[in-house]
Structure 1
Amino acid sequence: MIYFDFAATTPLDKDAAEVYLKVATEYFGNASSLHDIGGQSSALLDNCREELAQILGVDKKGLFFTSGATEGNFLALEALLSAPLKKGNHIIAGMAEHSSIHGELRRLEKAGYEITLLPFDDSGLIDIEKLANEIKPETILVAVQHVNSEIGTIQPVETIAEICKAQQIHFHSDCVQSFGKLDLKSITPLVSSISFSGHKIYGPKGIGGVYINPRTHWDPFFPGGSHERGFRPGTVNVPAIAAMTVAAQKIIGQTSTNHDTFALLRDTFIEALKPIKDRVVVYGTDAAESQLPNIIGLRISGIEGQWMMLECNRLGFAISTGSACQIGMQSPAKVTQALRLSTEEAKQFIRISFGKSTTVEEVLQLTESIVKIVQEF
């Protein structure tokens, strides 16, 4: 089967896998233990934290490891709300945020917070003017993802950060899809917090991280925790952290090459759909600076996305109908709501995403199959 769902997860890099096995067998001590074996794990953990901090362009004192970005998003929002820059109870977030953000927002709404959700414009971007107009004196937090996981649009987080700073508002950005594909060093000095994940960059599943500006004096959500300076409980997963660090080092060195390859694959994919172009709508923007090329969100009029996904699967291609977390709840992709698609249009949505192993030949095989499916439908 040919894989086109890299935005959901990636295969574990072989070098990262070797490091995981080595650390799990030779550096198995609890990093919080005071004996020498624990000290070896602690030293390795600190080295990984320092290396990832350099990659992100942040102070390592603000970098915390989590079980992934879902936990990271939750803990980051809770940390920022425990240390607001001013009094208030109003939160603004993107309508197309990851389900982990929406789950936390629903909980906060029940706790008395007022929530405002921002849709996308026709290009799949947050309308900055609308964001500014929604800000109130009581607004204390804005949460907008850096890159949308379903159509690949790059949100104007620098501009959003400037607006938030001027209004004394914390700004959290989910950087899961941008980590390893874009240079985050221009983003991290501007935000209050970011989250990232290992399994999107050919690292292991079950590991990720959060950066919180060290000037934020947050309170821990889980009381009594001693790991990660109280940010989260549980023994630190040093083998997975080491493997994620190796994966990050490798992919950062390939960013420019991968981007050019993905741009070629995207152009090839869209060009090859010309025989059915009257029925295809590709979501996103043509502006290269606002579009990550490895994610293509589209719909084919008259054909439900789930049916197209199953047909592609039958023919040996793995595609998706949106975020895997959302699919598990059998709900429409969040981006379809943000784009204000009708219920029928939302059901037609599919996502194609490329990885560093994807070839032009594979893309042409996929498009040929999609065209055939549509013509025979």
Structure 2
Amino acid sequence: MKIYRNTIYKLKERFMAAIEEHKPAEKRRALGRGLDSLLPSGPRVVAAVSAAAAAPAAVPPVVTGSAAPAIAPASGPAIVPQPQAVPGDIAELHAGREKSTHEAAPNGQVIEVPLELIDENPYQTRRTFDPAALSDLAESIKASGLAQPIVVRPGANGRYVLVLGERRCRASKLAGKTTVPAIVRPLGDEQAAEMTIVENLQRQDLNCLEQAQAFARLSSEFGLTQEQIGKRTGASRESVANYMRLLKLPKGVLDLVGEGKLQFSEARLLLEAMPFLDEAGLEKLGRTTVELGLTVKQLKERVDQLRNPQTFKSEPAPEKAIDPNVRAAQMELERLLGTRVHITDFDGKGKIVIEYRNLEDFDRVLDLLRAS
């Protein structure tokens, strides 16, 4: 796998060198900057305090900024970011909201919060967590403690609601911990949802169904347009639209996508087949793709055959099965770029083809490559 990753990065460097002289004057925001706009980066050092020592005063009025997760070493003082203003629309959204009466530490400081008092994040769309990765993180927590506090917000009846740090919470429980270092922030629903979704988008193992559901929740619950979602999460409007369209697929197909058996490019092709197949037919084509291990090219031939049956043979020609390492690299590129990617490999040599729908999408892909 490492060989294919190195090959991809080397090809990307050559590609970037060729287009450098055509770099536009202005760049779009790259994926991953959304959380930085909500959480500042400048640190200040304060002493971590316990929940019992926290001042039992009301939380200050909702501020126009929020603090980044602090970095708490195994020993010594916790490093907590300096408050920083968030985008104006979010500040205005929370201005004038009712103050929370939840008791918490001074804004931005780290306290120890009992795990049993932390409720699940209602805006968490991630459903799959790698057990091996959680186990490794739990062992690290046992040995050195939690290096980065989670972020929670005040809940009802003295409880807390998780905002950032789902994996850290789960791993802390596996490690036998009863409390976890946390930063308590008086966040509104929309800001908490936005921060959760941006954190998820920055992780590499988020599947395309979870990503689509995250965008859909911002749209349905807060009335945001695709353009607004893109600006707040660092994705392009085209990418947001591509992912949200996946939710039009029937449940049987979405289940295969959620289980990781169908990837973004395959789901997009099944969308193209919707005008020619009913729900049962689409689910059958999805299962056939998984059971036979069809490549993207083979699936595309079947969809094209549905579109123009008279121009294709009854059965597509058999094709050599794709190498699992090549397929994994292709899936990672598709997730990062939000579009179809084809990798053709011949004994360590080959080519990478990145598709784009229009000039705007072409510019978006270039911006992502430059930013990475």
TM-score by length of 2: 0.26
**Structure with more relative contact order (C-alpha pairs < 8 Å, separation 6 or more):** 1
Q: Which structure: larger Rg?
A: 2
Quick check: which one's helix share is greater?
Answer: 2
TM-score by length of 1: 0.26
